[in-house]
Amino acid sequence: MFRKLRFALGILMLARPTLAAEQLERSVDITSRFLNLSFEGVTETRDGWFSCSYKIPILTIRFARQQGLATTAINLDAFRVVAFASAGDDRTLFEQRYPLAAALSSAQDEARFQNIEFTIPKTTLRKAEYVALAVAGQPILDLEGQPLSPETKARLRNSRAMWPISARPNIAYETFSPGKHVQTVYRTPADPNDDCSSVKIR
């Protein structure tokens, strides 16, 4: 009996590092910035039978007007999730949009969204190289004094844009060439068979 118990404890002790490694890959910080918008939050993942569930408990979005840019405000209306195949394949395997409304026009403006949740089938994630998150909406542009035709101004006033949300901790390293070309190498899941690893979020 004692020998059986000791053997069982040995199995548990051997399993702990694997569990710990999996838990480390069940969340990722998505605090980042793209042009006029900054993002703050964490994406948590959960392994289900046939799909992986994702949850962002709190996503905070802030607006920053940058000097030299014509964007004076942003009206957001969607949160976007896309799973892409490998770079050589370059296919969209999964795409979903969720309503998300916010009007941001000054540095003091802040939008906070609670419990953003979505699921992706495991069959899709097995083929996907990475999962991308973004918000979409309409930038409000200051076009006064710009040497543009009325048609171009009308098109720009009705244009839509997307602001990607990056998971910077999932970058293994980046190299910069003299021509300002950036090569980014991303981390890979510790367990190649872990469909729900948060390392796949870029």
pTM score above 0.85:
no
User: Does domain 27-169 fall into CATH 2.60.40?
Assistant: yes
pLDDT at 176: 78
Contact by Cβ (8 Å): 88, 129: no
pLDDT at 194: 93
- The Cα 111–Cα 59 span in angstroms is 8
**pLDDT tier, 6 (very low <50, low <70, confident <90, very high otherwise):** very low
125-171 pLDDT, tens digit per residue, is 999 999 999 999 998 877 666 666 677 667 667 778 899 999 999 99
**pLDDT tier, 94 (very low <50, low <70, confident <90, very high otherwise):** very high
For 113-182, give the DSSP string: EEEEEEEEEHHHHHH-SEEEEEEEEEEEE--TT----HHHHHHHHT--EEEEE--GGGEEEEEE-TTS-E
pLDDT at 3: 45
- The Cα 118–Cα 159 span in angstroms is 27
Contact by Cβ (8 Å): 31, 40: yes
**Mapping DSSP to helix (H, G, I), strand (E, B) and coil, where does residue 64 land?**
coil
pLDDT at 181: 76
**pLDDT tier, 22 (very low <50, low <70, confident <90, very high otherwise):** low
28-65 pLDDT, tens digit per residue, is 999 999 988 999 999 999 999 999 999 999 999 998 87
Output DSSP code: residue 15.
H
**pLDDT tier, 117 (very low <50, low <70, confident <90, very high otherwise):** very high
The ranges assigned to domains in the chain are 27-169
pLDDT at 140: 82
pLDDT at 67: 56
Say which residue, 170 or 177, is predicted with more confidence: 170
Closest CA to 39 of 127, 131, 104: 104
